[in-house]
């Protein structure tokens, strides 16, 4: 077994920090490069972790230049813009061993119209929808859909828009105004969808795929709104739990309807899927529906799902690259994990007033054996930590159940603050499963 491998991870958030820690645990790995990464990712680690900021995630050529500098044995392209930009294709062409779907397979995320058509063609349960380039036709469809549903709709840009391209309209008047807003998304909004808004509870479901076969990983549930009990604006994710009791109770049906059909469909479309497949799903009247597919780990779900894997992550990824997942038994621990995201006050709106303010207490959390700390918008200067973005860090705790895991995570984050009382976090992460736990 080699012990001197270099792994390069493409991305820069707490998700990529989590992936970096998973590779670090492999005895085969000696050095990790995160591109562009963040300095925080190397702090307190027992192996060499280098953040190389000389690349842009939408620019595959710039990522190639970083890869050529370090000559990694494996590149894990973990971030959506980099996958959509064809980074996997370019690096493979240059002879690198790469984990992640190629640009054609990644279309299941970067082109919402293509993705919905795949769902329709392969019988994957999905909301009613039509796609448009003309606002007039879209408004006529929205009007007939509203007459039929008498309920809210989503107007969605087909391209990638940092998770901000799906707008909810409560009635036909709002739908008409929202259709006119699609031009704000420029290229990404040239094609857009008008969809039924399903009403139910969301879950996240993960599989690792090798082109033909897949293995199911633990489920999760994200908390996307800024404030407790799902109030406030949509964010990148304020916390997550894994497993999700809701998803685990229907896991066989979710696997069959949303994972099996998608992987088979991608094969039939001659785009065999290799990489992490992330299903954003919703349970509606006890049945799972696909809201979206993503071609990478979720953030913050990765922070609670990946640490449960007890296998060497490098071996699992290599088996996926080699098309050998079917012969592998994936073991995951039986613990429940909770992730609470610490953000700058004001996020997801303007949090620029917090930029540069000192974060206190993070060092103690990093020493606390009850939790893991993964960083995102943190600047490191003279060994001190400063806020440098919206979402700053994720605190993760594991327990025998949701109550124990929450207690440890919230104990740890209670000791962290930002100069001027500028730290924001939700205090209700996992509230639905706490209720389920006490009812069970
Ligand atoms: N958790 C949402 C996302 O990663 O897209």
The pLDDT score that the predictor gives to residue 205 is 98
Q: How many structural domains compose the chain?
A: 4
Q: What is the CA radius of gyration of the chain?
A: 21
CATH of the domain at 67: 3.40.50.20
Residue 141 inside a domain? The answer is: yes
**Closest-lying ligand 1 atom to the alpha carbon of residue 222:** 1
**Closest-lying ligand 1 atom to the alpha carbon of residue 298:** 4
Residue 178 shares a structural domain with residue 209:
no
Taking a C-beta distance cutoff of 8 angstroms, is the pair 37, 57 a contact? no
Which residues of the chain fall short of a pLDDT of 70? Answer: none
CATH of the domain at 217: 3.30.470.20
Residue 215 shares a structural domain with residue 314:
yes
**Gap between the Cα atoms of 380 and 383, Å rounded:** 6
Distance 87 CA to ligand 1 centre (A): 20
Residue 106 inside a domain? The answer is: no
Taking a C-beta distance cutoff of 8 angstroms, is the pair 166, 127 a contact? no
Q: What is the pLDDT of residues 202-242, one digit of tens each?
A: 999 999 999 999 999 999 999 999 999 999 998 999 999 99
Q: Helix crossing, 172-180 with 135-149: angle to 10°?
A: 160
pTM, two decimals, is 0.97
User: Which residues have C-beta atoms less than 6 Å from ligand 1?
Assistant: 163, 222, 237, 294, 298-299, 301
Containing structural domain, residue 418: 336-439
Last residue of a domain, one of 149, 178, 196: 196
Q: What is the pLDDT of residues 341-350, one digit of tens each?
A: 999 999 999 9
Residue 319 shares a structural domain with residue 246:
yes
> Which of 203, 220, 222 maximizes ligand 1 atoms within 8 Å of its Cβ, making it the mutation to test the pocket?
222
Distance 4 CA to ligand 1 centre (A): 33
The pLDDT score that the predictor gives to residue 164 is 81
Residue 145 shares a structural domain with residue 89:
no
Residue 367 shares a structural domain with residue 386:
yes
**Closest-lying ligand 1 atom to the alpha carbon of residue 300:** 1
Residue 258 shares a structural domain with residue 167:
no
Last residue of a domain, one of 294, 327, 360: 327
Residue 182 shares a structural domain with residue 274:
no
Residue 279 inside a domain? The answer is: yes
Residue 74 inside a domain? The answer is: yes
> Which of 15, 160, 239, 280 maximizes ligand 1 atoms within 8 Å of its Cβ, making it the mutation to test the pocket?
280
Residue 319 shares a structural domain with residue 340:
no
For ligand 1, atom 3, the nearest C-alpha belongs to 298
For ligand 1, atom 5, the nearest C-alpha belongs to 298
Residue 391 inside a domain? The answer is: yes
CATH of the domain at 169: 3.30.1490.20
Distance 144 CA to ligand 1 centre (A): 31
Taking a C-beta distance cutoff of 8 angstroms, is the pair 209, 274 a contact? yes
Residue 140 inside a domain? The answer is: yes
Residue 180 shares a structural domain with residue 222:
no
Residue 251 shares a structural domain with residue 288:
yes
Residue 119 inside a domain? The answer is: no
CATH of the domain at 354: 3.90.600.10
**Closest-lying ligand 1 atom to the alpha carbon of residue 299:** 4
For ligand 1, atom 2, the nearest C-alpha belongs to 298
**Gap between the Cα atoms of 429 and 440, Å rounded:** 19
Residue 252: exposed, middle, or buried by beta-carbon count in 10 A (0-12, 13-18, 19+)?
Answer: exposed
Residue 352 inside a domain? The answer is: yes
| Cross-strand bridge partners of residue 293 | 279
Instruction: Write the CA distances from 284 to 86, 250, 374, integer angstroms.
Output: 35, 12, 33
> Which of 18, 234, 237 maximizes ligand 1 atoms within 8 Å of its Cβ, making it the mutation to test the pocket?
237
SS (H, E, C) 233-292: EECCCCEEEECCHHHHHCHHHHHHHHHHHHHHHHHHCCCCCEEEEEEEEEEECCEEEEEE
Last residue of a domain, one of 292, 327, 362: 327
Residue 138 shares a structural domain with residue 157:
yes
The pLDDT score that the predictor gives to residue 207 is 98
The pLDDT score that the predictor gives to residue 327 is 87
> Which of 110, 163, 240 maximizes ligand 1 atoms within 8 Å of its Cβ, making it the mutation to test the pocket?
163
- Closest of 300, 246, 282 to residue 425, by C-alpha: 300
Residue 11 shares a structural domain with residue 28:
yes
């Amino acid at each position: 077994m080699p012990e001197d491998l270099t792994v390069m991870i493409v991305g820069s958030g707490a998700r990529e920090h989590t992936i970096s820690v998973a590779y670090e645990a492999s005895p085969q790995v000696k050095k990790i490069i995160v591109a562009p990464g963040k300095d925080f990712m190397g702090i307190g680690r027992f192996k060499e972790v280098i953040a190389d900021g000389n690349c842009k995630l939408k620019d595959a050529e710039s990522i190639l230049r970083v890869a050529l500098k370090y000559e990694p044995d494996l590149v894990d392209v973990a971030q959506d813009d980099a996958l959509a930009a064809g980074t996997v294709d370019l690096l493979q062409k240059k002879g690198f061993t790469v984990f992640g779907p190629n640009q054609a397979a990644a279309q299941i995320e970067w082109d919402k119209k293509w993705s919905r058509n795949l769902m329709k063609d392969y019988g994957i349960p999905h909301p009613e929808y039509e796609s448009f380039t003309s606002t007039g036709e879209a408004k006529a469809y929205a009007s007939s859909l509203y007459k039929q549903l008498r309920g809210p709709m989503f107007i969605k840009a087909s391209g990638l828009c940092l998770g901000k391209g799906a707008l909810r309209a409560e009635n036909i008047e709002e739908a008409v105004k929202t259709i006119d807003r699609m031009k704000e998304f420029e290229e990404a909004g040239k094609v857009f969808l008008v969809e039924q808004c399903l009403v139910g509870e969301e879950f996240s479901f993960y599989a690792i795929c090798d082109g033909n076969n897949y293995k199911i990983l633990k489920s999760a549930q994200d908390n996307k709104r800024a404030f407790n009990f799902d109030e406030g604006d949509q964010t990148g994710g304020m916390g997550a739990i894994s497993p999700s009791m809701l998803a685990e109770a229907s896991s066989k049906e979710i696997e069959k309807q949303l994972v099996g059909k998608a992987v088979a469909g991608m094969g039939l479309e001659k785009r065999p899927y290799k990489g992490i497949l992330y299903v954003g799903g919703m349970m509606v009247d006890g049945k799972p529906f696909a809201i979206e597919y993503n071609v990478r780990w979720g953030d913050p779900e990765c922070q609670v799902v990946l640490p449960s894997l007890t296998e060497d992550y490098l071996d699992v990824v290599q088996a996926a690259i080699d098309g050998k997942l079917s012969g592998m038994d994936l073991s995951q621990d039986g613990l429940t994990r909770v992730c609470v995201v610490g953000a700058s006050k004001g996020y997801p709106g303007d949090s620029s007033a917090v930029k540069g303010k000192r974060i206190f207490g993070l060092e103690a959390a990093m020493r606390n054996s009850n939790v893991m700390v993964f960083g995102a918008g943190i600047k490191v200067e003279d060994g001190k930590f400063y806020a440098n973005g919206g979402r700053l860090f994720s605190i993760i705790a594991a327990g025998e159940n949701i109550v124990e895991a929450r207690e440890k995570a919230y104990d740890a984050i209670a000791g962290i603050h930002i100069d001027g009382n500028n730290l924001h976090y939700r205090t209700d992460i996992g509230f639905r499963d706490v209720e389920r736990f006490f009812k069970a």
